Structure 1
Amino acid sequence: MLTIQAKLIFQSTEDKREVLDIMRRWSSCARFAYNRLLEGKSRNELKRELQWIFNLNSRYVDDAIMKAKSVLESCKERGENPSKVIFGGRSLFENLKKRHINGKAYKKLQQEWQERRKGNLYSRGDKSKKGNLNTRIDIDENGAVLRINVGERKYAYARIQAGWKKGKSREELLEAISTCGEAYSVELKLKNGKVYAYFTIEENFPEVVVTKENGVIGIDVNAYPNHIAWVEADGNGQLVSYGKIPMPELTSGSSDKREYYRWQYVHEVVGLAEEKGKALAIERLDIRDKGKRGDFSGRKSRRIRHGFSYKSLLDKVKILAQRKGIQVIEVNPAYTSVIGMLKYAPQYMISKDVAAAYVIARRGLGLKEQIPEGYMAILKELDADELEELKEHVKRTVKNKQLKKRQLKEIDEAIKLIKSLGSEPGEALIPLDGTSVNACSESYKLWRVLKVAVVTPLSPGKVLRDISVLKGVLHSGQVGRPG
């Protein structure tokens, strides 16, 4: 789906008043429909009734029922109580109930609450009506105009202030949408007294011509420092080349500026795949806590990751690659950094981020990651008592409270895993000799235990930065233990 955001500039005060009024009625209709759906009423039962109550045409009412139904289904999928849904946002509602907020701050919250609750309008597209009947884009000599149906044969008009998107004028894209004859949906939202429009149309992507048969380029996106690590692998999974794309502009600046630069970096990534004729392998977007993969945590890291927008970047990679006919493979993100750091970083003397990108590339090809013999020798000799000693050492020596807490948690998890595998951990671990896209979660336990057994003793109380020390461990199967 292609979505374009724009601000509406009304040609008259009366037009804006009419639009705000129909947004208020439509929002009330959607809330009313939601409550009736909870009572078990059907769409057909509601449609005629709501037209009369809210003085809306059948298309607007049908769209309101559809939105209400989608909220209800989404709530059920998340396992939440549908009767406790708050239109306008629960967090805002809870803030408004706090007694210590008053004055201008309270009025601002109240305005935002009212706008979210009452300032909405959604109109689905219809190809048989050449786009959208209730909210139609018209093009004149001065640019794009949105014609909004506010009553029986009555329309309000607003100039579309679109700006730029992906190096093209948004008005050019809106013109293309309005003339292509395809259905496009329009959603209006009220923010700070201004009305914004979101135009959405389904894109028809070309046939995929660049596939993983010739190999893939795996990418690992990192929030601190801001960069994309990439690795080129051939069809057999062998390392061909690698590099990094720094992204300093994503740490500051306006949201529009960061959005512009995200597209620039995405064009660089997809251009790389296009040049080398290889598919792209990326992490699946349901990863929940990207922050734990890096060296930083806390308020500063959260701020960096928020402005960085990991998901937005990968979404753009998928969209642009599909437009170029390049295959995009999404892989399980679990333990890509750990496997990369332990196995490939010392083997090829590359950074942890590049090594993680290599693991992603290999997963994109469906290859397994077998544990090297040196590491397997460590696992064979490892027992819970040894990890208990390591735990006590961390308690005594590590000063950083946050890092100590994380390391102790990892050690406790490793101890539980070893105990769950029986009295002979080495024998129990041997059959689980790899981690792959198709492997069950049990196989990841090896890497969790291995990280604790190898990395923590070498670098208690600090992040391991000198990966070269792992090279000897990788081949010898011996790791220094804390005294």
Structure 2
Amino acid sequence: MKTTIKAKLLEMPSEESEKLDNLMIRFSSAIRFAFNRRKPDAYDPMNKMDLEKLLQSKYKLNSRYAKDAVMKADSIISSQKELVKEYHSNYKSKLKQVKQELKRAKSKQKIHALKTKLDKYQRKLEEYQKHLDEGTIPKVIFGGKDNYKARCEGKISNQEWKELRNNKFCSRGDKTKKGNHNTRIVLDEEDNIFLRINTSVKKNSSRYEYIKVPLYLLQKKNLEGEVNGRDYKSMVLDVVSKEKPYYVEVIRKDNQYYAHITIEEKTPEIKFANPEQVGIIGIDTNPDGFALTCLDQEGNYKWHKCITNPELTSAKGNRRTNLCGELAKEVVEFIKNKGYSVAIEDLEFKRNSYGNKKFERISHQFVYRKLLTFLERGCKREGIEVIKVNPAFTSIIGKYKYQHQFGISVHNSAALVIGRRALGFNERIPKQLIQVMSSYLNRVKFTKFISSSQWSKWGKIDYLIKILIKTIKKEGGENPAYSKDYAYSRYRKRLLEIA
């Protein structure tokens, strides 16, 4: 498992910082040069080997730096190609949603806004379709689009813009070169840690000049001298002592230098708990945390628990990332000694919908992605088996089938469905819900409903019940807008005609 550890380069003499900045300028320029000759619509395309040789002579880089620059350029191109496919799919989905919304819109203001959005999405879709047809990629701005706009508007100086464009270099690891040849972590006699950097400048005819910069690796200790959290410092030093390969990227930010060190983290073997014999824990991911529901081997409910933090819906930046990590750690600590496997949703993170900005901020995919990523990594570190299942209709099935039965929240009900799906159980529709469908659908529609797939049935049930709840609210003089999960619980007896 790959793990990236952040470190900081401590203060260095101005001469050394100038050499480091000079290396960043040459390496960043080499990446841009390689990118413009490796992209699909390159004016002067070059093969990899010839390009590496040209970079060595043009930018005075050694062969390893030249190869790393070409590798970085190729990774940008491959990433852009994947993004073109994703953006095309997203805008295609958004366009379909806006067209459906336009059919239902009544006010002139709403129709005008939707038509404007429709035109925008159509232009974007055509743009990405053209890239797919021609095998090209969009323009790439090294230094960032926002920074480029700020430079055009005169908000930042030309010098600041150049510093943003030329602020990093990287070096791949090599086990035959004591872990990393160009940026090697070394220790002195007093066990002080340094990063030895090859400046790729020859001070005589044969040898390159190196600079040795003090490196700070974070390690938090309590009053007893024990390390709090994961001991990343020891992990890095262990890799260095065994001369295993590690990747280093040096970045300049706010006149400070940071090193991102990527190592291969050793993890224990996965303990296969055999869910068919001992049961499983289903986990549903939500904007404020996790909902856990434990099942036995027959798929029956045993217990449930919620591990959440309300601050997660409003926190920003590093604070939100930290909260995601703490919640995932709490979940792993809770389940690691219980002997169960874990079932989670196999979510696809696509920005293919539009809607209320406040809701999107709360339920942004960043939270789900971070929570699931941290949870998976935590489980892997503890040797816990993780089973991924299709997330389709888990919340809908849980709400209509298990929420009232076990007196649990809709999130724990969804976790119950996730666990049952991992065990291989199908969710049959209760007779009461089928009776509701037969009461409100004519014979032809009901026949189509019965002959449809199982998941399609659940979708149709959810759609009809939402309409019925709106009707009930209108009759009672309430706001007919349907947005709350507890609306079904409130009107359940009336909908199912239970006395």
Give TM-score scaled by structure 2 length: 0.75
In structure 2, the residue matched to 1:149 is 198
**Which residue number corresponds to residue 125 of structure 1?**
173
The residue that corresponds to 2:417 in the other structure is: 359
Q: Distance in 2 between matches of 1:451 and 1:92?
A: 49
Aligned position for 1:393: none
Amino acid at match of 2:357: G
Confirm or deny: 8 A CA contact 1:455 1:464 kept in the other structure.
no
Match of 2:37 in 1: 36
Per the alignment, residue 109 of structure 2 pairs with none
Aligned residue for 1:5, secondary structure, equals: strand
Segments of 5+ residues of structure 1 without an aligned counterpart are 385-422, 436-441
Which residue identity lines up with residue 446 of structure 1 in the other structure? K
**2:374 is the counterpart of 1:326:** no
Please give the per-residue CA displacement for 1:32-80, whole angstroms capped at 9, x wherever unaligned: 1011113342111211111101111111111111111111122222335
Q: Which residue of the other structure, out of 131, 143, 158, is the alignment partner of 1:88?
A: 143
Say whether residues 1:218 and 2:277 are aligned partners: no
Residue matched to 1:392:
none
Cα contact 1:250–1:307 (8 A) shared by 2? no
Structure 2 CA distance for partners of 1:472 and 1:445, relative to 1, 3 Å: same
Deviation at 1:449, TM superposition (A): 2.5
Q: How many residues align?
A: 421
- What is the Cα deviation at residue 94 of structure 1? 3.9
Distance 2:379 2:249 in 1: 27
Q: In the alignment, does 2:340 pair up with 1:282?
A: no
For 1:250-276, what per-residue CA distance to the aligned partner results, in whole angstroms no more than 9, with x for missing partners?
467786665555444323212333222
Asked if 1:107 is matched to 2:176, the reply is no
- Aligned: 1:50 with 2:76: no
The residue that corresponds to 2:333 in the other structure is 271
Measured in 1, the distance between the counterparts of 2:472 and 2:397 equals 17
Shift of residue 196, structure 1, vs aligned partner: 1.7
- Give the aligned residue type for 2:193: A
Task: Measure the CA separation in 2 of the matches of 1:159 and 1:451.
Answer: 65
Code of the residue aligned with 2:425 in structure 1: it is L
Following superposition, the deviation at residue 210 of structure 1 comes to 3.3
Q: 1:172 — aligned with what?
A: 234
- Residue number among 182, 185, 193 corresponding to 1:134 in the alignment: 182
Instruction: Return closer, same or farther for 1:83/1:265 CA change in 2, 3 Å cut-off.
Output: closer
Q: SS state of the match for residue 306, structure 2? A: strand
The answer to whether the 8 A contact 2:397-2:458 is kept is no
**Alpha-carbon deviations, 1:120-140, whole Å to 9, x = none?**
211111122221111111134
Mean alpha-carbon deviation: is it higher for 48-57 or for 329-338? 329-338
Local SS of the residue matching 2:142: coil
Aligned equivalents of 1:65 and 1:290: distance in 2?
Answer: 33
Once the two structures are TM-superposed, the CA of residue 453 in structure 1 deviates from its matched residue by 3.9
Q: Deviations 1:341-367 (Å, cap 9, x if unpaired)?
A: 222212222111111221222222233
| Aligned mate of 1:427, from 447, 460, 463 | 447
Distance in 1 (CA, whole Å) between partners of 2:405 and 2:439 is 23
The 3-state SS of whatever aligns with 1:370 is coil
Shift of 1:472: 2.9
SS at match of 2:451: coil
Shift of 1:328: 0.9
Select between 368-377 and 19-28 the one with higher mean Cα deviation.
368-377
* Distance in 2 between residues matched to 1:279 and 1:53, nearest whole Å: 55
SS in structure 2 opposite 1:281?
A: strand
Distance 1:90 1:351 in 2: 44
Task: Check 1:354–1:7 CA distance in 2 against 1; reply closer, same or farther (3 A cut).
Answer: same
Change (3 A) 1:363 1:455: farther
**Aligned positions of 1:289-328 closer than 5 A:** 298-299=357-358, 301=359, 304=362, 309-328=367-386
- Pick the aligned partner of 1:158 from 181, 202, 213: 213
What is the CA-CA distance between 1:463 and the residue it aligns to? 2.0
Q: Does 1:182 align with 2:244?
A: yes
Is 2:467 aligned against 1:446?
A: no
Cα distance, 1:307–1:43 mapped onto 2, change above 3 Å = closer
Q: Distance in 2 between matches of 1:358 and 1:111?
A: 57
Structure 1 residues 227 and 138: CA distance shift in structure 2, 3 A: same
Distance in 1 (CA, whole Å) between partners of 2:368 and 2:147 is: 25
Distance 2:193 2:314 in 1: 32
The reply to whether residue 229 of structure 1 matches residue 278 of structure 2 is: no
Q: How big is the shift at 1:118? A: 1.4
Which residue, 365, 368, 375 being the options, matches 2:433?
Answer: 375
Deviation at 1:443, TM superposition (A): 5.9
Gaps of 5+ in 2: 85-130, 203-207, 221-227, 474-479
Letter in 2 for 1:335: F
Contact 1:205–1:323 (Cα < 8 Å) also in 2: yes
Asked if 2 retains the 8 angstrom alpha-carbon contact of 1:130 and 1:181, the reply is yes
State the partner residue of 1:410: none
Does the C-alpha gap of structure 1 residues 302 and 193 become closer, same or farther in structure 2, counting only changes over 3 Å? farther
Provide the rounded CA distance (Å) in 2 between the counterparts of 1:72 and 1:451: 48
Report what 2:114 is aligned to: none
Q: Is 139-148 or 20-29 further displaced after alignment?
A: 139-148
Task: Name 2:486's counterpart in structure 1.
Answer: 465
Question: In the alignment, which residue of structure 1 is the partner of 2:301?
Answer: 239
AA of the residue aligned to 1:120: K
2:74 to 40, 57, 69: 69
With the length of structure 1 as denominator, give the TM-score of the two structures.
0.77
What is the CA-CA distance between 1:455 and the residue it aligns to? 4.8
Query: In the alignment, residue 460 of structure 2 is paired with which amino acid?
Result: L
Change over 3 Å in CA distance of 1:253–1:177 after alignment to 2? farther
For residues 298-323 of structure 1, the C-alpha deviation after alignment (integer angstroms, 9 at most, x for no partner) is 34x55555698332221111111112
> What do residues 219-253 of structure 1 show as CA deviations (whole Å, max 9, x unaligned)?
22322xx3321111122221111011132564677
Shift of 1:447: 5.1
Residue type of the partner of 1:298? K
Q: Percent identity?
A: 34
Change (3 A) 1:2 1:464: closer
1:194-213 matches, within 5 Å, as: 194-211=256-273, 212-213=275-276
Bigger mean CA deviation after superposition, 447-456 or 231-240: 447-456
| SS of equivalent to 2:244 | coil
Q: Per-residue CA shift, 1:198-234, capped at 9, x if unaligned?
A: 11112343321133342221222322xx332111112
Name the CA shift for 1:198/1:312 in 2 (closer, same or farther; >3 Å): same
User: Post-superposition shift, 1:454?
Assistant: 5.0
Q: Is the 8 A contact 1:23 1:119 kept in 2?
A: yes
